[in-house]
Amino acid sequence: MDMEKHTTASIFETLRDRICLLDYPPGTILREAALAKEFGISRTPIRAVLQRLEHGSLVTVRDGVGTIVTDLDRAELNDIYEMRLKIAELIGVLSPRKITPADETLAIGLLKRARQLVTNYSASEYWQINHAQHALIADLIGNSVLREVWDQLYYRSARFWYREASNTPDGVVQDLVAELGEITRAFRARDTVAVGYIQRNFIAFSFARLKSALNPDQPTS
């Protein structure tokens, strides 16, 4: 029984998170009828949601087949991360919002939560902290276009690093703690440019980690 009132926005977020959290692994075929039945509505609004997901490059709809969760190939990984590296540097440049004490408080809270991950790891908690950190920084971006691109690339890259976090949580959690520590420091100094560069650096670290995971060893002749 579903007592909740599912709106198209909430369904979109639900499906998006299922894809990002690899609950729907790449290649999964989603059926409109099944989703419609699950959420207790008709196929029409489901189709609208799937179209939005397709715009975000998370799925591709194929006539007569179904809606297929997109694959994670290496070329796309490179393209997304190359862009995120460059986009991050713009965060503090394109007329950002001023950092407030409330922001600082939120960052400190996230840092504390992240530190607890070191001893008690939980994939769901890791995801939620990342999510909150992303929202916190996206809210600083003054340029609306930059914020949209930043947001979309975040969700498009999420599956890559979430899978890596599940495989080898140790290093990933250490990075998250370090990142939030630096962000807290930058927030204390009210330095938005620093926030952008911190993001750039940790995206680069994550990128390196993912690449070495795909290339376990250097090829030997």
- Residues of the shown chain interacting with a copy of itself in the complex, contacts defined by CB under 8 A: 47-48, 51-52, 55, 75-76, 79-80, 82-83, 86, 90, 93-95, 143-146, 149, 153, 156
For residue 155, give the nearest of 92, 70, 62 by alpha carbon. Answer: 70
For residue 76, give the nearest of 58, 55, 53, 62 by alpha carbon. Answer: 58
Closer of 126 and 154 to a copy of itself (Cβ): 154
Total of residues contacting DNA (CB under 7 A): 19
Residue 62 makes contact with DNA by CB under 7 A: yes
Residue type for 158, please?
Answer: A
d(CA 203, CA 191): 19
d(CA 43, CA 135): 31
Cα torsion 206, 181, 22, 85 to 10°: value is -40
> Smallest distance, Å, CB 85 to DNA?
34
d(CA 59, CA 16): 10
Residue 8 makes contact with DNA by CB under 7 A: yes
> Among 27, 38, 48, 189, which residue sits at the site for DNA (rule: CB under 7 A)?
48
Q: Which of residues 25-44 bind DNA (CB under 7 A)?
A: 30-33, 41-44
> Among 10, 23, 27, 65, which residue sits at the site for DNA (rule: CB under 7 A)?
65
43 binds, among a copy of itself, DNA, none (CB under 5 to 8 A by kind): DNA
Residue type for 58, please?
Answer: L
45 binds, among DNA, a copy of itself, none (CB under 5 to 8 A by kind): DNA
* Per-residue tokens: 203: 């995206």
Residue 64 makes contact with DNA by CB under 7 A: yes
For residue 183, give the nearest of 129, 147, 145, 143 by alpha carbon. Answer: 129
Q: Which of residues 67-96 bind DNA (CB under 7 A)?
A: 67
Q: 97's torsion region: left (phi>0), alpha (psi -120 to 50) or beta?
A: beta
Closer of 49 and 210 to DNA (Cβ): 49
Closer of 32 and 104 to DNA (Cβ): 32
> Smallest distance, Å, CB 60 to DNA?
10
Kindly list the residues in this chain that would bind DNA in the complex (CB under 7 A): 8, 30-33, 41-45, 47-48, 61-67
